Structure 1
């Protein structure tokens, strides 16, 4: 499975999008950490680059480096943009940890399970509350996935007690604290390493929305899925600010036109589509899919309230208005989820 993804990624990296590269004035390097079969690549990244290229009449071209290529490391997306190694990157806020404390507040338990509302909330709050975390970068979009599930290989999870001792891959510090409070042992791993570690029994499962379960081939090594909707995680799509400023005005306008609110508004529908495919694959494989009961959900909420309070206090050691940001997220999400 890993060899297949790596081969596909290398093949994708070798392709410079759009014809006419010989006459192109600018070729921008764009990296992300997901396999080229993932919807992020096929539905978002590739069409976005094509839109910009068309808008600039071919004056701006793109070379994409997905996961599995030399620039596709999930832990290096932000630093590669800041250093100018790549011009644009799509990355996961939680890896490596601690870089985006303000943005990470959206990961807190049961704050939201709706990708569309979460993505629009992040974008709406970005100018006033989140911007200091993105110095040196032009933010093209912020987004988040639908509510995450608990996926396991050999243990059916229905209650908090079933979580006891499970070694589960975690995407971020906030989700790690959630898992610990529920009795599990969080294991920090890049998404691309989950398959091998489940297969080797190093971990018992993972937390993910449905879509990466399919794109990383995890339905091959998983058997049980709890639709908990207990958390989300945010992603960034950013450009080196100096590089953006160096582009002709027309190119800047084309990038702006393809980005921002117009782009962010698409993520809700995209995640629904990607998640549906991952869930259907699990159904066809005969897996056991369980939904967290309302009674059990309330137990989890009560058990996780101290996690929320502790994490906000922790972020408050770095950010003066952590509680204000969290409250703004909660209020904005409530309006968008109506």
Structure 2
């Protein structure tokens, strides 16, 4: 009996062997596809967090950094306004890998990276502007020891991309001298600025930038140390109409990265990241003077009273600055002494 058609095996004939020319073309196409896949996989996307509004100059600086990168090597997604990690948790969140990079206020890290206290010495002279602060912070003699200190917390210090601008004391009620801060509750910003407030008789209170308006409105604090930018953008003139004309502190913003994530980047990606950071520092330094002047004018217009230091106030401020420069050397030793010498060179 003949087998049925359903049981028959049909074996299709082998296709003709491709010509040498066709084989070369197919091989070339395959290799090109593999190279394209490899390139795509190499372009890693990093998450950068910060605590400022996106439209703030500091927020625009981080976006400028992201825009400088070659997307075939590295990309950055920016998460503003504490949407990923709160400002005071920026160091820990970066070390843990909750976020890959963070731009944060220098005073927020002094509890862990004590050497950063050099940027919290109170009452910097008015001659020290933001360009000086950025130049000092990014001086190789400063970056090297601070980089080692950050690395101990599993964080890579990439550089300082912003300065705080005028960061001073805003009060609900007027004063006639620094000695009248005695008994007042003041929002501090960390580092040596806090004990300096206590030297003046004030009580230091901690809170986030977002809490300042409500705490001033309800009497939770009598004043806050904050930036001109926060004063203007948060509408603090409604609850703190008095401002000191001189800075309480002027602090740069470190850009930090999870150390394991940094070490895992290809050398090309690392080089591209450092190139973008350097370009961002140059852009920030070149553009912040105009921004700082705009903010200072806005503060002067919104505040009811601008308190200018008397000769007695200036002498007291100088003595407190010298006190905490000495305290820094005493606390951190020889390497701190070297940083203080660099700091003093930028005051001349």
After TM superposition, the score normalised by the length of structure 2 is: 0.77
Deviation of the 1:192 alpha carbon: 1.9
Counterpart-to-counterpart distance in 2, 1:91 and 1:252: 21
Is the 8 Å Cα contact of residues 164 and 182 (structure 1) preserved in structure 2?
yes
Structure 1 residue 61 and structure 2 residue 75: aligned?
A: yes
Task: Say if 1:306 and 1:247 are closer, same or farther in 2 by CA, change over 3 A.
Answer: closer
User: How many residues were matched structurally?
Assistant: 302
**Corresponding residue to 1:151 among 159, 170, 188:** 170
Residue 96 (structure 1) shift: 5.2
Pair 1:242-2:260 in alignment: yes
Provide closer, same or farther for how the CA distance between residues 287 and 88 of structure 1 changes in structure 2, counting only shifts above 3 A. same
Q: Is contact 2:196-2:320 (8 Å) kept?
A: no
More deviation, 72-81/295-304: 295-304
**CA deviation vs aligned residue, 1:149-179 (integer Å, no higher than 9, x gap):** 22112x2134122222221111113110111
Aligned-residue offset at 1:320 = 4.9
* Deviations, residues 29-56 of structure 1 (Å, cap 9, x unaligned): 11111222321112x011110111xx23
Cross-structure match for 1:91: 104
Displacement of 1:120 after TM fit?
1.2
Match of 1:131 among 133, 147, 153: 147
**In 1, distance between residues paired with 2:165 and 2:191?**
18
Question: Hey, what's the Cα distance between the residues in 1 that align with 2:291 and 2:244?
Answer: 18
**1:38 and 1:127, CA in 2 relative to 1: closer, same or farther beyond 3 A?**
closer
Residues 208-227 of structure 1: per-residue CA shift (max 9 Å, x gap): 23122123332232211111
Q: 1:323 aligned to 2:315?
A: no
Instruction: Summarize the alignment of residues 266-285 of structure 1 with structure 2, pairs less than 5 Å apart.
Output: 266-285=283-302
Structure 2 equivalent of residue 182 of structure 1:
200
- Contact 1:149/1:225, CA 8 A, preserved across alignment: yes
The equivalent of 2:220 in structure 1 is: 202
Distance in 1 between residues matched to 2:247 and 2:178, nearest whole Å: 14
Deviations 1:11-35 (A, max 9, x none): xxxxxxxxxxxx7842211111122
Q: 1:322 to 1:215 in 2, by over 3 A?
A: same
For the pair 1:116 / 2:134, whether they are aligned, the reply is: no
1:121: Cα distance to partner? 0.8
Cα deviation for residue 329 of structure 1 reads: 1.9
Gaps of 5+ in 2: 1-39
Distance 1:311 1:99, change over 3 A: same
Say whether 1:231 aligns with 2:249.
Answer: yes
Give 1:229 shift: 2.2
User: Does the 8 Å CA contact 2:157/2:256 hold for their aligned counterparts?
Assistant: yes
Asked if the contact 1:35/1:216 (under 8 Å) is kept, the reply is no
Q: Say yes or no: does 1:106 pair with 2:119.
A: yes
Deviation at 1:269, TM superposition (A): 4.4
Q: Deviations over 1:48-96 (max 9, x none)?
A: 10111xx234x53322222242x23012211222222211111123225
Work out which of the two has the higher radius of gyration on C-alpha atoms and give 1 or 2.
2
Partner Cα separation in structure 2 for residue 251 and residue 168 of structure 1:
44
Q: Kindly state the Cα deviation for residue 292 of structure 1 after the two structures are TM-superposed.
A: 1.9
Could you tell me how far apart the structure 1 residues matched to 2:156 and 2:327 are?
A: 31
Residue of structure 2 equivalent to 1:16: none
1:311 CA displacement: 4.6
Determine the structure 2 residue equivalent to 1:17.
Answer: none
Equivalents in 1 of 2:236, 2:51: separation in Å? Answer: 17
Alpha-carbon distance between aligned partners in 1 of 2:224 and 2:281, rounded to the nearest angstrom: 27
TM-score between the two structures when normalised by the length of structure 1: 0.79
Q: Distance in 2 between matches of 1:92 and 1:176?
A: 15
Q: 2: CA distance between counterparts of 1:308 and 1:126? A: 15
